[in-house]
Amino acid sequence: MLMELIEVRHEDRELLYNLNQKYLYEMTNYYDDELDALGNLHYGHFDAYFTDPKRKAYFLYDGPTLSGFAMIHPYSDLGRETDFVLAEFTVFPMYRRRRLATDAAKLIFDRFKGRWEVKYNEKNSAAKNLWNRVTAGFDPVREQLNEDETVLIFRTDQEH
C-alpha cells in the first residue's frame, strides 16, 4: 500500500484527541504522567494544533487504513532556530513491524524540507532505533535534552 499524510481538520479534533490519549498511555512506560479526574492524560499543547497555524497534525494512512498520526511544530526543544519539530509520532501497535513507521517518517521528511529536531526517550528502544536509522542519511547531531531524552538535529534540504 501507499503511505499518505492527511492533515487533521478541526472536525477531526475528537478523533485525534482519542488517538493521542492511547498514545500518551503507551508513553507512560517511559514518563511518569498522572491521570486527570476523568482518566485522561494532559497534553498541554493539544488545543494549539487547532488554533496555532504553525502547529500541524497529520493522520497516517496505509491505503484506506488509519495507522497512526504525527504532530509537527517549529518550536525547538533546545531553544534553537528550527523549521520543524516532530512533537508526536506513532504507528498503532497492531500495524507495527510492517515498515509503516519508516515509510511515514521518510514521507514526512521528504515533504517538509528544512531544519529538524526529533526527540526520543532513551528507554524507548524501538523509537531510538527507528529515529537513528531513519535519520542516518541526514547525518544528525545528537544532543542530550536531559538524562532520559535525546534530540536529533538534522537538515532534510541539503545533499549529504
Structural domains in the chain, sorted by start: 3-117 (3.40.630.30)
Q: Is the dihedral of CA 19, 22, 26, 28 positive or negative?
A: positive
pLDDT exceeds 90 at position 47: yes
pLDDT exceeds 80 at position 91: yes
- Cβ atoms 43, 87 nearer than 8 A: no
Q: pLDDT higher for 70 or 25? A: 70
Whole-model pTM: value is: 0.91
Lookup: cell for 2: 501507499
Which of 21-35, 88-102, 119-133 has the weakest average pLDDT? 21-35
Bridge partners, residue 86, by sequence: 72, 118
Rg of the chain in Å (alpha carbons):
15
Average pLDDT over the chain, rounded to an integer? 92
Bridge partners, residue 144, by sequence: 150
pLDDT tens-place string over residues 24-34: 888 777 778 78
